[in-house]
Amino acid sequence: MKIETGILAIVFTVVFLLTVCQGQVTGSEPEEEPEPIVCNDPNETYDDCGPVCGDRTCANQRKNDVSCRRACIEGCFCKGGYVRNKSRRCVPSYLCSTMG
């Protein structure tokens, strides 16, 4: 009878521990969702894999940056045909010559 009581105590302990531990992940906290990126400029769009070197600008729109093709970052980027001006706004590339 004493052995049965000991086995029963072990079974109850295991069941209790399984109930308490069920659904818990050890060693990690639940991660919070990052804030969504909002693009405020009407001439830019969100891209989850845009160029790591950023948008073309009025100053560098005609340069070749081969190194930017291998990596990407998430963010807001100018739409096609647009570049960033000195105020960091996306403008049509043909307007750069009139902006100085």
Distance in angstroms (rounded) separating the CA atoms of residues 68 and 31: 30
pLDDT given for residue 20 in this prediction: 52
CA trace torsion 75, 79, 81, 82 (10° rounding): -60
pLDDT digits (tens, 9 = 90+) for 22-31: 555 555 667 7
Sorted by where each starts, the structural domains of the chain and their CATH numbers stand as 44-100 (2.10.25)
pLDDT digits (tens, 9 = 90+) for 38-87: 999 999 999 998 888 888 888 887 777 556 667 788 999 999 999 999 99
pLDDT given for residue 38 in this prediction: 92
Asked if pLDDT for residue 93 goes beyond 60, the answer is yes
